[in-house]
Structure 1
């Protein structure tokens, strides 16, 4: 069961030493849906915004931006993102600083890749429901409220974010017209305005992603379980 959950997870590993990065990816990378590498804190933030990982693993000492500084910035974007620190440092100051930042685990180098994999397996059930896989290659991160197309970030307006959040938290993922108008605009709006809103959202995403149920409302389309 845990292996099935791990296969759904996106991991971001931030490490400036290329050999270490590739060794860890080689050792445990195939256990996950994806295992993306970044070479410093700034690149780590860029990759984080691009792929919306479920968990971040990072070194502390890196050029351009340290792992702890990067962790602070990532927590501003997604306060619930789990972050694991890998470091040669054992000083209490670094450990306390990592705790203050919100790091969930601290592994000292040299570390055992299997221990890291076991730990992620331990917390994997807590991470499983964060990313919702939709049809047409889309996915929605319910924590950061971000939409992705084949792992590429799709910018949404505030009301478009509200729409996805509402429909994914509604029974059967069906929203009627009245609920959309009330919860998104909180005021009386015309049917034409709603249709224009949905039309623009479909242009930005896909006609097949948002299904019109005549006389009922709108439904979101999920990825089929047997699709790759």
Structure 2
């Protein structure tokens, strides 16, 4: 694959949340060197049971859910095919790639039945990985950087491209401070923000008091008729994302 095509793939994959499951330490470390070319956010599991647990915990919130799974087949505690079948009961769409040393027909047919999107035999190369990712992208199965809509709790939607908030397809008019508030939390995927962090980002003048931040949150709550930012007592606030059932 030429450099330009590889760059196009990386532009799409770099921000994706990827779950990688492999029990062999040496293979895992070597593979991660290649995967780090494509992905900035990789969470690792060492068996199918760990992989399933991580998937379930992340899948509760759309903001942190996985976009892609890469897994081995033969693993202790729970094998890859069993894990995939259980994941498919929860999410039938998430792309899944198999990295395996096994080329026998039985394994291959089982993975097809489980609904996988690619099967790469070890040892693999950058070209093999990029070609598999390219096929998944062509099938429009990967979330891309052009997906600008963030689903928030209580059916609120945030458009990251235009910095707009919607509810029931109606735009909610926001002040400059409110827009900056959403931008701050969305840019870091809703992680907890302290009063000081919010204060420094939104207001021109620094204050040791949290009064301005609390007043901003109070006014926004009244405007939305909903508490979209959860107050964490003594710490700050978290933005509420839509839960995935």
TM > 0.5 between the two? yes
1:83 and 2:92 matched: no
Matched residues, number: 172
Q: Is the 8 A contact 2:10 2:37 kept in 1?
A: no
Distance 1:177 1:122, change over 3 A: closer
Q: In the TM superposition, what are the counterparts of 1:33-112 in structure 2 within 5 Å?
A: 33-48=40-55, 49-50=57-58, 51-112=64-125
1:11 and 2:18 matched: yes
Distance 1:177 1:91, change over 3 A: closer
**1:110 Cα deviation from its structure 2 partner:** 2.3
Partner in structure 2 of residue 2 of structure 1: 9
Q: Is the 8 A contact 1:9 1:53 kept in 2?
A: yes
Q: In the TM superposition, what are the counterparts of 1:137-176 in structure 2 within 5 Å?
A: 160=153, 163-164=155-156, 167=157, 173-175=165-167
Specify every segment of 5 or more residues in structure 2 that has no aligned partner in the other structure, as ranges: 1-7, 59-63, 172-221
Specify every segment of 5 or more residues in structure 1 that has no aligned partner in the other structure, as ranges: 141-146, 148-159, 180-193, 211-219, 221-228
1:128 and 2:143 matched: yes
Give the alignment's TM-score, normalised by structure 1: 0.61
CA distance in 2, matches of 1:112, 1:100: 26
Computing the radius of gyration from Cα coordinates, the structure with the larger value is 2
List, as ranges, runs of 4+ consecutive aligned residues in structure 1 with deviation greater than 4 Å.
129-134, 176-179, 194-197, 204-210
User: Per-residue displacement from partner, 1:17-44 (whole Å, max 9, x unpaired)?
Assistant: 0111111111231321312211000111
Instruction: Give the alignment's Cα RMSD to 1 decimal.
Output: 3.8
CA distance in 2, matches of 1:208, 1:59: 35
